[in-house]
Amino acid sequence: MGILDTDAIVLDQVRSFLSNDFGIHDLAGTQIGRIVTEGGMGSRLLMGSRQLAIVDTDGTLLVRVVDPPNLGLDRFEVQDWQGNVVAQVVKEFTFFNKALRIELSTGPQLRLEGSMWDREFTVTGPGGLAATASRHWPGVAEAFLGRERYVLGFTPQVPVHEKLGTIGAVIALDLIRQKERNSG
């Protein structure tokens, strides 16, 4: 079973000084993929983790989340294995909540929203609720190390492009939170 074959995935962060990697598991704990930090060490030292590859257990690249340098609102690209943009994730200006707009290249738009204080997020699209995401610490030691766990549940029959855009948006959300911690 791979990432796209299940309606619930768990992303366990294994952040270190120069990487922001994740293990991807199903709800039973079986590894079904991983997220690997890419890019040169020099750029990661200067700008942080700017490129993350999401791969299935067999090593197949599903998508890559790229954080290009930009001014104004954060904008991320979700690229397929050939480098084609399949979605753009844009941080929206909000006061008391987090909101990301997911612009899919296939046309529809999704929105990830959640309260600044809550750790629960929803992803809605043209068909209504597409996914829910919950963020928490896997344990006390991991909390001190800044590691997070995201549980992502998809509505059954959600299209693959919406699933990939949602996974990209959750990774972008984590990158945004990391930037905010580093600048604050």
User: What are the structural domains, with CATH classification, of the chain?
Assistant: 3-183 (2.40.160.200)
- Whole-number Å distance between alpha carbons of 12 and 24: 6
- Whole-number Å distance between alpha carbons of 166 and 21: 17
State the pLDDT at residue 103.
96
**pLDDT < 70 regions, the chain:** 15-20, 40-49, 116-118, 137-147, 181-184
One-character DSSP codes across 122-169: EEEETTEEEEEEEEE-SSHHHHHTT--EEEEEEPTT--HHHHHHHHHH
State the pLDDT at residue 162.
93
Tokens of 177: 């939170």
Measured between alpha carbons, how far apart are the two ends of the chain, in Å? 40
pTM, to two decimals: 0.85
State the pLDDT at residue 121.
93
